[in-house]
């Protein structure tokens, strides 16, 4: 736990004090956020520097490395974990970086064209599918000396469901779907100052708690008490997932200081897609694929609002909401931006609390 605290704290400091440099840098580069003309309430935000996700991506990586320095100072009996970067960490950072690069290219095109049209929707989906498929294969086939892989061929909820075996091909397809849905859902939620950042902090903190609990009850932990085998978690590298989730949560929290209303900088698609890729990877590594929609309740609601709006307009010619995603509907209904963000954070918090309750409830059910 000491390494996780150090990583989270360092990531927070790096992001908090590093973001002002990013603000000045992107302002000099004239990397301002284009605003759609139909969203007149956001006209005053035009020109606010974007691509701020670079800050917490770098902060997460540096904090993770610092966490490993701390781990190296601890006795082997305290840390049931092999030294160095694990395959799980490579997968998680690979997803974060590659999805972030997709978002960076989208942001770059928007800035260069000086409008809100960046990478085409089809282009994003293809790139996300390639990334999800590539890392899905690595997660299922790269085993090394460990007794298990990062991914699983079983459908998982709070842990693998043994009787829901789907095979490797279907498991890769499922992960591709999870990556596409999560990256786009987080991206859609990033429409108001601090909204996606605050919600992501909560989800990442939830995965920190889940990972730490799995680490304390890990099947591969040779130092664990003998009774742990009765209810251990068959996952790979839970300390790594906790370290990365904690570092990312700390980095996002530091970024939120500058991203909260009125935002001095936006994370852009660079940040939202990077977070979506990382969260999808955490769900894969912790074997909680079906728990993710509950933990990420706000992301699901936001994405569904767009799906409902498009489906309704195409089939009936009528709109269900004044504007989608959902937070823009409430803006047009007269709610203040801060009011919407706080209430949506409450929804995000409810999803996290319910998800964690289901996770720990299953543990209590097994051991009682």
Question: Do the Cβ atoms of 241 and 193 come closer than 8 Å?
Answer: no
Count CA atoms within 13 Å of residue 233 on its CB side.
27
Beta pairing, strands 154-156 & 160-165: antiparallel
CA separation for the pair 150, 284 (Å, rounded): 7
Q: What digits encode the pLDDT tens for the residues 193-236? A: 999 999 999 999 999 999 999 988 888 765 555 555 567 888 98
Question: For 118, phi and psi rounded to 5 degrees?
Answer: -110, -125
Q: Omega before 304 cis (within 30°)?
A: no
What's the pTM?
0.93
CA separation for the pair 125, 181 (Å, rounded): 10
CA separation for the pair 200, 279 (Å, rounded): 9
Q: What digits encode the pLDDT tens for the residues 156-201? A: 999 888 888 998 999 999 999 999 999 999 999 998 999 999 999 9
CA distances from 91 to 87, 244, 258 (A): 6, 11, 29
Tokens of 298: 């706000």
| pLDDT the model gives residue 203 | 98
Question: For 165, phi and psi rounded to 5 degrees?
Answer: -85, 130
The residues, any chain, with a CB within 8 Å of residue 39's CB and separated by 6 or more, are 323, 328
| pLDDT the model gives residue 42 | 61
3-class SS of residue 213:
helix
Within 10 A of 5 (CB to CB), how many other CB atoms are there? 13
Q: Which residue has the higher pLDDT, 36 or 333?
A: 333
| pLDDT the model gives residue 20 | 94
Question: For 108, phi and psi rounded to 5 degrees?
Answer: -60, -45
Overall average pLDDT of the 283-296 stretch: 96
| pLDDT the model gives residue 83 | 61
3-class SS of residue 212:
helix
Overall average pLDDT of the 98-110 stretch: 93
Q: Using CA atoms in the order 285, 210, 196, 127, what is the torsion angle rounded to 10 degrees?
A: 0
Within 10 A of 170 (CB to CB), how many other CB atoms are there? 12
Assess whether pLDDT exceeds 90 at residue 289.
Answer: yes
Q: What digits encode the pLDDT tens for the residues 113-167? A: 766 677 888 999 999 999 999 999 999 988 766 668 888 999 999 988 888 899 8
Cβ-count burial 218-254 (b if 16+ within 10 Å, e if not): bbbbeebeeeeeeebbbbbbbbbbbbbbbbbbbbbbb
- The owner of tokens 């279907």 is 170
CA angle 272, 275, 281 (to 5 degrees): 145
CA distances from 60 to 7, 67, 145, 366 (A): 8, 10, 27, 34
DSSP, res 291 = G
CA separation for the pair 248, 211 (Å, rounded): 14
Tokens of 15: 């992001």
Tokens of 25: 């840098």
CA separation for the pair 357, 368 (Å, rounded): 16
């Amino acid at each position: 736990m000491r390494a996780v605290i150090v990583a989270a704290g360092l990531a927070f400091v790096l992001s908090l004090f590093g973001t002002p440099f990013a603000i000045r840098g992107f302002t000099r580069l004239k990397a301002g956020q284009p605003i759609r003309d139909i969203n007149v309430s956001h006209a005053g935000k035009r020109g606010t520097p974007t691509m701020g996700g670079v800050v917490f991506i770098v902060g997460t990586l540096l904090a993770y490395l610092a966490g490993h320095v701390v781990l190296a100072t601890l006795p082997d009996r305290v840390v049931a974990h092999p030294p160095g970067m694990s395959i799980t960490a490579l997968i998680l950072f690979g997803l974060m970086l590659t999805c972030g690069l997709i978002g960076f290219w989208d942001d770059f095109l928007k800035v260069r064209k000086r409008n809100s049209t960046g990478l085409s929707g089809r282009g994003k989906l293809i790139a996300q599918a390639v990334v999800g498929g590539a890392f899905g294969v690595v997660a299922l086939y790269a085993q090394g000396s460990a007794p298990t892989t990062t991914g699983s061929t079983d459908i998982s909820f709070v842990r693998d469901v043994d009787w829901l075996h789907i095979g490797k091909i279907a498991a890769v397809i499922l992960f591709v779907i999870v990556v596409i849905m999560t990256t786009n859902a987080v991206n859609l939620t990033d429409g108001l100052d601090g909204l996606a950042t605050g919600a992501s902090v909560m989800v990442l903190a939830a995965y920190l708690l889940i990972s730490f609990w799995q680490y304390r009850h890990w099947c591969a932990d040779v130092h664990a008490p003998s009774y742990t085998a009765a209810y251990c978690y068959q996952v790979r590298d839970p300390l790594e997932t906790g370290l990365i989730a904690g570092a990312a949560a700390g980095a996002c929290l530091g970024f939120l200081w500058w991203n909260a209303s009125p935002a001095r900088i936006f994370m852009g698609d660079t940040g939202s897609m990077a977070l979506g890729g990382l969260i999808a990877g955490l769900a894969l590594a912790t074997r909680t694929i079906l728990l993710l929609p509950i933990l990420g309740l706000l992301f699901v609601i936001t994405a569904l609002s767009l799906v409902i709006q498009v489906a309704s307009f195409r089939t009936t010619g009528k709109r269900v909401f004044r504007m989608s995603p959902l937070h823009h509907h409430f803006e047009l209904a007269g709610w203040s931006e801060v009011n919407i963000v706080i209430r949506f954070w409450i929804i995000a918090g409810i999803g996290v609390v319910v998800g964690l309750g289901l996770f720990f409830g299953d543990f209590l059910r097994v051991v009682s």
